[in-house]
Amino acid sequence: MNGNNKEKVYYERGTNELREKSLRAQKLVKAFNDCDPEYAQEKERIIRELFGSVGEGASIEHNFHCDLGYNIHVGRNFYAGYNCTIMDMAEVRIGDDCMIAPNVGIYTAGHSIEPKNRNKGGYGIPIAIGNNVWIGGHCSILPRVTIGDNSIVAAGSVVTKDVPANTIVAGNPAKLLRHIAEEQY
């Protein structure tokens, strides 16, 4: 998991290029969310078209949303619960065997703190999530964060800083609760 590339990607709202990319994603997201739950193959086809890359065994529940889609890369056996939002103005890389509970937001996007022209553009900073990570319900993962392998983010947490591998974090802002011993997995 390469979490070292944390450079800002700037964008300007209202450009034709961004509008076209966003419209493409919105159409695919709508098709995915409107898809009958029994049509798993069609849902998978749409996600493979929407995302930059998708490992085998990916599963995403209803009411998924994203900005562009092609900046999202998920590994094998990825699972996202209901109401997952990934704002992917920059790259989001999620490793193998990751679980995301319902109502989780992963946000690469940000805006200037200066009020002048704040709504005319912004930036995205990549997020990297390692292998075997479990993110509990109602969590927010903010720009520039790397979550290490085998870690757990407890429900309701707001992750503003990197999470070391083999740890459990919780709270707002998320803080280290404890380390996970390797023999436990």
Tell me the C-alpha distance between 69 and 47, whole Å.
9
Known catalytic residues are 111
Residue 1 domain flag: no
Q: What is the pLDDT of residue 170?
A: 98
3-state secondary structure of 85: strand
Q: What is the pLDDT of residue 118?
A: 82
* 166 Cα distance to chain centroid: 20
Number of structural domains in the chain = 1
Chain-wide mean pLDDT for the chain?
A: 94
Residue ranges making up the domain that contains 163: 9-184
pLDDT above 90 coverage of the chain, percent = 82
Average pLDDT of the segment spanning 29-33: 98
Please give the model's pTM, rounded to 2 decimal places: 0.93
Residue 4 domain flag: no
Which amino acid, residue 138? H
With a cut of 70, say whether residue 27 has pLDDT above it: yes
CA distances from 167 to 33, 76, 136 (A): 33, 22, 14
Domain CATH number, residue 95:
2.160.10.10
With a cut of 60, say whether residue 130 has pLDDT above it: yes
4-18, 26-40, 45-59, 68-82: segment of lowest average pLDDT: 4-18
